[in-house]
């Protein structure tokens, strides 16, 4: 049996080019090279008349034969894909009379299109962005996965061309206008518009009512993790010692022995954590790694190393959102070190806080309706924050991140729950994410020690060490003067930065991406502790205290900003809401989500 050939890659497609010349072709190859970090293993370009599909490949599955672009049997359908299709075996079984040229899991896309036309996208289970060209009638489609785990941008050239790119950097110079391609959508040249192919029950935000079934939650999460072990290269788990990444590591270590990858690379699981020396995450992660018996790699960075990397981070991540940059920097540094050890794929814990209402500000959710609507808004915005960070910070070094919490089926199960069980209820002894913690609370074969299973959350940007954020603020203060802040609303009328830190990131971003369209791909709006703008209304005190860090949800985190503890801003009920066993729940690469609205 040929192994699947998943690839995390960089794609660039330019369709309907005005001048078909060698110069144009070499320009497209040159722009495609801006994505080479995403796929250092091989590159390819396919041109048909005035259409070009370029690809930079990172080979994760079937490294020897899955080079792209991929085709159908007679090469009339060409597709360039960034992603992993986990159910490609089942899909191939439905396509019995089709001949497959490679072992690539992504090749099914070309054949599914032949068989089912444009409506096949919802059959795919995985993370992907792709562009498909049908040379028979020169029509094309482009699509992005349900949640937007894989990045995709769409742009328009003055010559009437349409562009698609994994990252903004490959099309921002040559397109008059461009947008972040919306997740769960499909663009069809036949209809000339975007339409949503992903339409799960939770999307309407009406209140679900399924009773809480801990075993269903556990089994669907385990399935989500196991299917992501489809790989032909060495891999590991990003482990912050927080609940979410610890559960990923625990489930992988349980099932590793029965996978094909264990036969290839051995059945010792490698785990990775980064932090400043002595940070909450390093301590927590080591404890979990020792418990699970993994080969644990503890990576350190200094505040200065983080600051020195900021410009490069902003170039790669393509945002000026404060929380995203704070959390992307350690992840970017860690990814480089992980790649240097020969690891090409990692599993990560993003998405759980959005699905289960895990951010500390959820303590203030007034009722289950508001809580449910906020979780829906958070999932819909993930592509602007955590997914963007997890994908681009790792891809910067040719590392692929997979996120089991954002499995299509797992989200359906978790979002179908009556949100009453996600409410934080002190009287019932329920802390945030109790539904998830309880589902993995197995007395006979414990997944994790109790005090880790019930540990309070730490945001990733805080968990790597509290002095990291303080160092960033000092650095920004040295670069941004008071008079610059006074005039900020004139210099940056859209999404005006309100702090020196935000102003500094914005100037760096504008240097790389000066066009108006670029700044519009980044969301803005008031936020506290990663809430969406709507949830800021939950507590009157928050409107005065807009800091995106988790510690800002005053009186909720034990390490809440000490100096802020004026009686007016502390809710005594929350202050004593629970007595967590230890500090620190940052799901590695997960928790620093947005301070921003959908």
Annotated catalytic, 9? yes
Minimum mean pLDDT range among 132-146, 458-472, 523-537, 540-554: 540-554
Per-residue model confidence (pLDDT) at position 587: 31
In this prediction, residue 554 has a pLDDT band, given cuts at 50, 70 and 90, of: low
Q: Which residues contact 548 (CB under 8 A, 6 or more apart)?
A: 322, 323, 326, 527, 528, 529, 530, 594, 595
Would the annotation count 527 as a binding residue?
A: no
Q: What is the mean pLDDT of residues 277-291?
A: 95
Would the annotation count 379 as a binding residue?
A: no
User: Of these residues, 9, 51, 273, 376, which one is catalytic?
Assistant: 9
Burial 119-135 (b: 16+ CB within 10 A, else e): ebbebbbbbbbbbbbbb
Q: Which residues contact 139 (CB under 8 A, 6 or more apart)?
A: 133, 188, 189, 190
Angstrom distances, CA of residue 445 to CA of 215, 258, 440, 441, 517: 14, 18, 10, 9, 53
Would the annotation count 349 as a binding residue?
A: yes
pTM above 0.75, yes or no: yes
- Of residues 9 and 381, more confidence is placed in 381
Instruction: Look over the chain and give the mean of its residue pLDDT values, rounded to a whole number.
Output: 88
- Of residues 265 and 333, more confidence is placed in 333
Domains of the chain with CATH codes: 10-199 (3.60.20.10), 202-470+523-537 (3.40.50.620)
pLDDT tens-digit readout, 572-581: 333 333 333 3
- Of residues 573 and 38, more confidence is placed in 38
Q: What is the mean pLDDT of residues 206-218?
A: 98
Coil, strand or helix at 453? helix
Would the annotation count 18 as a binding residue?
A: no
Angstrom distances, CA of residue 311 to CA of 187, 194, 473, 512: 33, 33, 15, 9
For the chain, give the percent of residues with pLDDT over 90.
Answer: 74
Do 348 and 406 contact (CB within 8 A), yes or no? Answer: no
In this prediction, residue 546 has a pLDDT band, given cuts at 50, 70 and 90, of: low
Q: Which helix (H) or strand (E) holds 129?
A: strand 126-134
pLDDT tens-digit readout, 350-405: 999 999 999 989 999 999 999 999 999 999 999 999 999 999 999 999 999 999 99
Per-residue model confidence (pLDDT) at position 459: 65
Kindly tell me the burial class for residue 258, based on how many C-beta atoms sit within 10 Å of its own C-beta (0-12, 13-18, 19 or more): exposed
pLDDT tens-digit readout, 431-450: 999 999 999 999 999 999 99
Do 85 and 124 contact (CB within 8 A), yes or no? Answer: yes
In this prediction, residue 150 has a pLDDT band, given cuts at 50, 70 and 90, of: very high
Would the annotation count 348 as a binding residue?
A: yes
Per-residue model confidence (pLDDT) at position 589: 33
Taking each helix axis from N to C end, the angle separating 214-227 and 408-415, rounded to the nearest 10 degrees, works out to 170
Per-residue model confidence (pLDDT) at position 541: 77
Encode 454-492 in three state secondary structure: CCCCCCHHHHCCHHHHHHHHHHHHHHCCHHHHHCHHHHC
pLDDT tens-digit readout, 488-523: 999 999 999 999 999 999 999 999 999 999 999 999
């Amino acid at each position: 049996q040929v192994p699947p050939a998943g690839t995390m890659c960089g794609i660039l497609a330019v369709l309907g080019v005005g001048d078909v010349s060698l110069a144009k072709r070499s320009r497209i190859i040159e722009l495609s090279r801006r994505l080479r970090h995403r796929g250092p293993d091989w590159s390819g370009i396919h041109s048909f008349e005035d259409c070009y599909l370029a690809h930079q490949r990172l080979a994760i599955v079937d490294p020897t034969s899955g080079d792209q672009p991929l085709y159908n049997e007679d090469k009339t359908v060409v597709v360039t894909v960034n992603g992993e299709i986990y159910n490609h075996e089942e899909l191939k079984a439905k396509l019995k009379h089709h001949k497959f040229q490679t072992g690539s899991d992504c090749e099914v896309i070309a054949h599914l299109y032949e068989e089912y036309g444009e409506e096949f996208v919802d059959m795919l289970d995985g993370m992907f962005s792709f562009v498909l060209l049908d040379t028979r009638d020169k029509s094309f489609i482009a699509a992005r996965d349900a949640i937007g785990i894989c990045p995709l941008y769409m742009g328009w050239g003055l010559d009437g061309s349409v562009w698609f790119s994994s990252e903004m950097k490959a099309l921002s110079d040559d397109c008059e206008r461009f947008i972040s391609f919306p997740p769960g959508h499909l663009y069809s040249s036949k209809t000339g518009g975007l339409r949503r192919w992903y339409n799960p029950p939770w999307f309407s935000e009406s209140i679900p009512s399924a009773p809480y079934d801990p075993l269903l939650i556990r089994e669907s999460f385990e399935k989500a993790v196991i299917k992501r072990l489809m790989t032909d290269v060495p891999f590991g788990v990003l482990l912050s010692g927080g609940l979410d990444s610890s559960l990923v590591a625990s489930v992988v270590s349980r099932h590793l022995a029965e996978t094909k990858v264990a036969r290839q690379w051995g059945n010792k699981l490698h785990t990775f954590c980064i932090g400043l020396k002595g940070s909450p995450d390093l301590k927590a992660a080591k404890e979990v790694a020792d418990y699970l018996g993994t080969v644990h790699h503890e990576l350190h960075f200094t505040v200065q190393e983080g600051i020195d990397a900021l410009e490069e981070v902003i170039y790669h991540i393509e945002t000026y959102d404060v929380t995203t940059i704070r959390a992307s920097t350690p992840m970017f540094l860690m990814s480089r070190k992980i790649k240097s050890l020969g690891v090409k794929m990692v599993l990560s814990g993003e998405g759980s806080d959005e699905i289960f209402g895990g951010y500390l500000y959820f303590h203030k959710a007034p009722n289950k309706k508001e809580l449910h609507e906020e979780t829906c808004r958070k999932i819909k915005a993930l592509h602007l924050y955590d997914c963007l960070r997890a994908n681009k910070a790792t891809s910067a070094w040719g590392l692929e991140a997979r996120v089991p919490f954002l499995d299509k089926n797992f989200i359906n199960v978790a979002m179908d729950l009556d949100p009453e069980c996600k409410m934080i209820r002190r009287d019932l002894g329920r802390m945030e994410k109790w539904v998830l913690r309880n589902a993995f609370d197995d007395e006979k074969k414990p997944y994790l020690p109790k005090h880790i299973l019930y540990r309070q959350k730490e945001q990733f940007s805080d968990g790597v060490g509290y002095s990291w954020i303080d160092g960033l603020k000092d650095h920004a203060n040295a670069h941004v003067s008071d008079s610059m802040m006074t005039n900020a609303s004139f210099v940056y009328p859209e999404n005006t930065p309100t702090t020196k830190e935000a102003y500094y990131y914005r100037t760096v971003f504008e240097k790389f991406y000066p066009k108006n369209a670029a700044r519009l791909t980044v969301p803005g709006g008031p936020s506290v502790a990663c809430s969406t703008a709507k949830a800021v209304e939950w507590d009157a005190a928050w409107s005065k205290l807009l800091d995106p860090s988790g510690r800002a949800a005053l009186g909720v985190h034990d390490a809440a900003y000490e100096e802020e503890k004026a009686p007016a801003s502390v809710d005594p009920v929350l202050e004593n809401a629970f007595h967590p066993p230890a500090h620190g729940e940052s799901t590695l690469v997960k928790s620093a989500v947005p301070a921003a609205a959908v």
